[in-house]
Structure 1
């Protein structure tokens, strides 16, 4: 039996089986957090651009765009919602696989579920199936895959396909075909980091779109490569120099990866979060004293992605370790406002950012990707030195957000768009998905009152 077939059988079986209570709750948390990013993210220019194109190219009345309430084709809604949910850098994160699962997976499942009027139970099971497929593939191909490829895009399309195919009720062979088509569309390169381009939210939107497209094509009878993963010209051979196949099958159906999911407090790349948390702890001890230099030690992959001492755009700032640590020390926060152009241009902040130096630490390299540690040392005028090490940032397993903290994050994201009353009602509706609340009813709460 091929690995593709193993994953397809798992997803088909999951559709007909009640989720364990802890897995259901984890899925509801994931949906709540994703909705916050998708609704608020619609205000950002890349998301607005994606939506404008979707209106022209993917018109229809099948599914809802969360940021505006308008309706497009299911493919258009998946694309627009996926892009919007990834643009603010506040969507979820599975650290061991270096993968943001919600942004490609949930919009594909949601658009399919709205189109066919699926129950909340089926929607949640589909999301869990997508998380399992996407995360397990990302764990298998990383870290070598991560050198050039963005797993949220490349592995995300497989997760999105599994989720959409589960909602649409594909047979095992149908889902194998869908995954085969997904693999031939898997793409997403890191080159955008070199000039701060806006490609990253496109990765999530396109993965969501392509995952749903692959499922719809299989539903219509299009066949796909049946060994798309392990075939001699398949996904593994093309995108990773080392692959751990055991990561795909070990515990499949018994140990659910969604239980390892984490949630972000800071509106920037997850590789900066341990350093930000360390800087926030140090800020309390600095007490207004003059900072001469800030040294950040972390793992090399974090620097490959975020070593940018002079970011010129909002998006580039979200991938600048120097800026993230500087705003944490200067503002005591690393939220949405800390990455706006006005903060980038602030001369005092720019002066502090210029005093942040970064380096790789060998023992931190060895710890990655199971841990994402950072050490921050602050040298003060007068010679005093303060330092702090953080291994697990707030929001990740081992240092998780409570349900109430996650709800407060959601309300803070959504209230400016929907208002406080509707935001609270939407949070309540998410908690009813596991009891069978129809997905269309969830969306009516969001935009019909």
Structure 2
């Protein structure tokens, strides 16, 4: 097998050849929406105890620098900033999702490319291109491995995000082909965390580590560090060890021709909880609103979901915000009690309040197939939800959500996206952020120096 048959070489070629004028307009627009969203959720996430703990860890570990820590007035060097911002971006589990790999793409790639862009004084246009490049490499590798890697228990945000963050950072750093190969190889062979992270600080930690790893891989490769060009194909390579040797190189050969940010697309969350709960939450909201029901009307709720949803949402009686984010029972209870799921509903006093605790006991979650009456529905996503609600009067109300609001097939409107951004900024008490940051992200290609983004 020659070097040009190796996936690492194909990826490096794609990184070097990616140019923004060759990216379709819809993909560029989707990328800008993702930038807006991830900035907002990082600002909000910086308020959490988890993000603060990991930021303090970063301060003790890394040197000062010129890279912003969002939601604070502090700066660190590039690896430190990537780590701290990556942890904050995912701390509320409010960041975007993609079914290519079932990954949180922006929360890893954005902190990496932002750090490198600020370290190198890159333009906003270069940052945007690095962001698109990182996401596309991540999604392409995800398609090549298929979602079986997720099913095997690997947390793909860590495994694949490390690769995407290295690709985006390499693009901004303008590495040559050989150095890009080594940066990617360094990232690939060190990637990985398991899905056991859910509901704990480990999830935020490994999101930050994936962003940091991409930056470090680029910096090390620039200094001569090497990695195995057969990182995917080796008998002990990532495809065999993590995925039973399942790997389709055609997916990465399509880089620059097909764009994962458009197909399957990116899901921007409406609710600050695990995306697996969103479809069932929307179905519950439809029942409550269309029938004019209140929490006092609800006697029992049965949610039927696919195995993927049940495997992610494992906390039936959550006691902390981190547990509530992985509780379908909490998501349904919040919709019934509050009519929504907002950041304020994740406060301990609210999520453990008597009304919520009473509702938790009325909700049953079952694993099953799509109900027969809904099997002809269009765009049924892997995390669909079917809800049956019984009132105290004995009435049975049914609703099915094939995909949630905010999914790639049902995207948030620009107004909804800006409302979400504003709510995140307000949650962080960053009153002035909505006045300039939203516009800067929307027109990021006009920024002359990435260090100007947050000043």
- Asked if 1 retains the 8 angstrom alpha-carbon contact of 2:381 and 2:402, the reply is no
| Partner residue in 1 for 2:451 | 440
For the residue of structure 2 that corresponds to 1:28, the secondary structure is helix
Change (3 A) 1:274 1:247: farther
Kindly report which structure 2 residues correspond to 1:6-405, keeping only aligned pairs within 5 A, or say none.
Answer: 6-15=10-19, 19-146=23-150, 147-193=152-198, 196-241=199-244, 243-245=246-248, 248-249=251-252, 251-259=254-262, 260-284=265-289, 285-288=291-294, 289-363=296-370, 370-405=381-416
Partners of 1:71 and 1:227 lie apart in 2 by 37
Task: Note the alpha carbon deviations across 1:257-310, whole angstroms, 9 max, x for none.
Answer: 112112001010000000011111111115235322110011101101103211
Partners of 2:348 and 2:103 lie apart in 1 by 27
For the residue of structure 2 that corresponds to 1:389, the secondary structure is strand
For the residue of structure 2 that corresponds to 1:396, the secondary structure is coil
- Asked if 2 retains the 8 angstrom alpha-carbon contact of 1:19 and 1:125, the reply is no
How far the C-alpha of 1:23 sits from its partner, in A, is 2.3
Partners of 2:26 and 2:332 lie apart in 1 by 35
| Partner residue in 2 for 1:447 | none
Moved more, 159-168 or 140-149: 140-149
Partners of 2:20 and 2:82 lie apart in 1 by 24
Change (3 A) 1:300 1:416: closer
- Asked if 1 retains the 8 angstrom alpha-carbon contact of 2:301 and 2:389, the reply is yes
- Asked if 2 retains the 8 angstrom alpha-carbon contact of 1:24 and 1:434, the reply is no
- State TM-score, norm by structure 1: 0.93
For the residue of structure 2 that corresponds to 1:66, the secondary structure is coil
Change (3 A) 1:251 1:73: same
For the residue of structure 2 that corresponds to 1:316, the secondary structure is helix
Change (3 A) 1:65 1:143: same
- State TM-score, norm by structure 2: 0.92
For the residue of structure 2 that corresponds to 1:362, the secondary structure is coil
Partners of 2:196 and 2:443 lie apart in 1 by 41
Q: Give the number of equivalent residue pairs.
A: 442
For the residue of structure 1 that corresponds to 2:453, the secondary structure is helix
Structure 1 unaligned regions, length at least 5: 445-449
Partners of 2:12 and 2:185 lie apart in 1 by 11
- Asked if 1 retains the 8 angstrom alpha-carbon contact of 2:271 and 2:278, the reply is yes
Change (3 A) 1:344 1:417: closer
For the residue of structure 2 that corresponds to 1:437, the secondary structure is coil
- Asked if 1 retains the 8 angstrom alpha-carbon contact of 2:379 and 2:402, the reply is no
